[in-house]
Structure 1
Amino acid sequence: MTDWIDVSALEDVPVRGARVVKTALGCVAVFRTGADTVHALDNACPHKGGPLAEGIVHGTSVTCPLHNWVFSLETGEAQGADEGRVNTYPARVEDGRILLEAAFLRARVAAE
């Protein structure tokens, strides 16, 4: 059985925006697209550590606010000429609440 952590109300994350949420297993950036899908990624860009939650969400991508690197919200892969990736975490919405899969968060913490 999958263990999910309730991190926020969907309405607390703006459409085409993001919020950093703090969990017992660390902080994660949660993004909401214009199509109302929710994605969770590490908040730091691998290029210079830019705060991705402060970036611009467009389609299913986010652009880092420091140097305009673009990352897929679905895969975490850099797009275009940029190279690198950020970790992604399973996220879902249930009854208006955003849930993150705990096992993936635990794996991230253990790897750091």
Structure 2
Amino acid sequence: MLQTITRIPVANYSNLRVRSGYTIKIDDTEIALFKVTNGEVYAIENSSPHPKGGVLSEGLVSGEYVYCPVYDWKISLKDGKVQSPDVGQVRTFKVELEEDIVFIVR
């Protein structure tokens, strides 16, 4: 059975501020978009994997990492992995850019 790929337009690239989180919602999933200093855009689940959570779109961005605003966990925007000594992972989403439109690919 063939799997259908869906591209969902979620933002204008030019409207995303560098090193700031931008929240979107697809179905019941809240996603945080981040444009980093090299211009790349990443999309991750908008909740820290810590048991008490944390809204990642409100976190501090440094390089290709976001820091949970509640527990200061360092989380990779590339693969969603929490950096040592903490452990955990958030879901990541594939992003494509076409002209000025940012798409989430599912």
Normalised to the residue count of structure 2, the TM-score between the two structures is 0.89
What's the Cα RMSD here? Answer: 1.3
Q: Which residue of 2 aligns with 1:92?
A: 96
Looking at structure 1, the residues matched to 12 and 28 of structure 2 have their Cα atoms a distance apart, in angstroms, of 18
Q: 2:48 aligns to what SS in structure 1?
A: coil
Looking at structure 2, the residues matched to 45 and 24 of structure 1 have their Cα atoms a distance apart, in angstroms, of 19
Looking at structure 1, the residues matched to 20 and 89 of structure 2 have their Cα atoms a distance apart, in angstroms, of 20
State the aligned residue count: 102
Looking at structure 1, the residues matched to 56 and 65 of structure 2 have their Cα atoms a distance apart, in angstroms, of 11
- Structure 2: any 5+ residue segments left out of the alignment? none
Normalised to the residue count of structure 1, the TM-score between the two structures is 0.85
User: Cα deviation per residue 1:39-71 (whole Å; 9 max; x = unaligned)?
Assistant: 111000011210000001111100010110000
Please report how far the alpha carbon of residue 7 of structure 1 lies from its aligned counterpart in structure 2 after TM superposition: 0.4
1:12 aligns with 2:15: yes
Q: Which residue of 1 aligns with 2:29?
A: 26
Structure 1 residue ranges, 4+ long, deviating more than 4 angstroms after superposition: none
- Structure 1: any 5+ residue segments left out of the alignment? 104-112
Looking at structure 2, the residues matched to 80 and 26 of structure 1 have their Cα atoms a distance apart, in angstroms, of 26
1:40 aligns with 2:43: yes
- Among 49, 52, 58, the alignment partner of 2:56 is 52
1:83 aligns with 2:87: yes
- Structure with greater proportional helix content: 1
Q: 2:25 aligns to what SS in structure 1?
A: strand
Identity %: 32
Looking at structure 1, the residues matched to 85 and 74 of structure 2 have their Cα atoms a distance apart, in angstroms, of 9
